[in-house]
């Protein structure tokens, strides 16, 4: 047994959660909007990142406090030690879920853009974040359209066998069963998708109707 494994129970017994003296509701009152996690999921090339940043820009114009957690950016740091096996992908989503949860509790609007191909991982993310705070947004897009948008050439490499376990080619994407929103990003303009998301946030009273 390694030193880490041997001492883990002892370390955990001495860890105590510290609560902020400023409540979440007070932070949300200062922000003038609620905290929430917008979880964008879909194939590579489905428009997740583009849409997340477009929504953030609109929310910024409304003076909302936001943060985008993008798949590529996260793998440069927090998840830089992970590969793309099923186990590593699951751990990647777990870490993001924990980070998103912490930030949302400050009353910020978090926008995550991850393929998150496995339904079980997204279910776990919802559980970790908390159902009221978790909004699953499925960017539905035909595979051929995703491939036509592939500026990195990832689909071509996957079809040539240069990239293994690539979602949509050699690894499955499991569609959400009951997402809060389904956006057909291969059929509608990005502004239409942005408007649908903002309308949902107003309906949920995450942002105010007049904003």
pTM greater than the 0.85 cutoff = yes
The catalytically annotated residue of 116, 120, 148, 195 is 116
In this structure, is residue 5 part of a structural domain?
no
Closest CA to 41 of 199, 187, 182, 165: 182
What's residue 145's pLDDT? 96
- Cα 181 to Cα 14: distance, rounded to the nearest angstrom: 42
- The number of domains in the chain is 1
What's residue 23's pLDDT? 81
- Cα 154 to Cα 167: distance, rounded to the nearest angstrom: 10
Within its chain, how far is the Cα of 188 from the centroid?
Answer: 21
What's residue 3's pLDDT? 39
Whole domain around residue 188: which residue ranges? 19-203
Question: 105 and 26 in contact (C-beta within 8 Å)?
Answer: no
In this structure, is residue 210 part of a structural domain?
no
Whether 25 sits among the annotated catalytic residues: the reply is no
What's the CATH code of the domain at 108?
Answer: 3.40.50.300
Q: CA angle at residue 157 from 154 to 158, to 5 degrees? A: 85
Q: What is the pLDDT of residues 71-102, one digit of tens each?
A: 667 777 777 767 778 888 888 899 999 999 99
What's residue 18's pLDDT? 67
In this structure, is residue 166 part of a structural domain?
yes
Q: CA angle at residue 152 from 147 to 154, to 5 degrees? A: 60
- pLDDT less than 50: residues of the chain: 1-4
Q: What is the pLDDT of residues 171-180, one digit of tens each?
A: 999 999 999 9
């Amino acid at each position: 047994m390694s030193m880490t494994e041997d001492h883990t129970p002892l370390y955990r017994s001495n860890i105590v959660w510290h609560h902020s003296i400023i409540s979440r509701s007070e932070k949300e009152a200062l922000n003038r909007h609620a905290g929430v996690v917008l979880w964008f999921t879909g194939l590579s090339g489905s428009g997740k990142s583009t849409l997340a940043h477009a929504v953030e820009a609109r929310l910024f114009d409304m003076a909302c406090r936001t943060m985008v957690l993008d798949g590529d950016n996260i793998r440069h740091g927090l998840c830089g030690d992970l590969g793309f096996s099923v186990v590593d992908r699951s751990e990647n989503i777990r870490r993001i879920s924990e980070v998103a949860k912490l930030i949302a509790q400050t009353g910020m609007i978090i926008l995550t853009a991850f393929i998150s191909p496995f339904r079980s991982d997204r279910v776990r993310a919802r559980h970790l974040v908390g159902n009221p705070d978790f909004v699953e947004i499925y960017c539905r897009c035909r595979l051929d359209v995703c491939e036509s948008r592939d500026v990195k050439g990832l689909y071509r490499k996957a079809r040539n066998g240069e990239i293994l376990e690539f979602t949509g080619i050699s690894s499955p994407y499991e569609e959400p069963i009951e997402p809060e929103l389904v956006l057909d990003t291969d059929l509608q303009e990005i502004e239409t998708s942005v408007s649908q998301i903002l309308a949902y946030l107003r309906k949920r009273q995450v942002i105010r109707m007049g904003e």
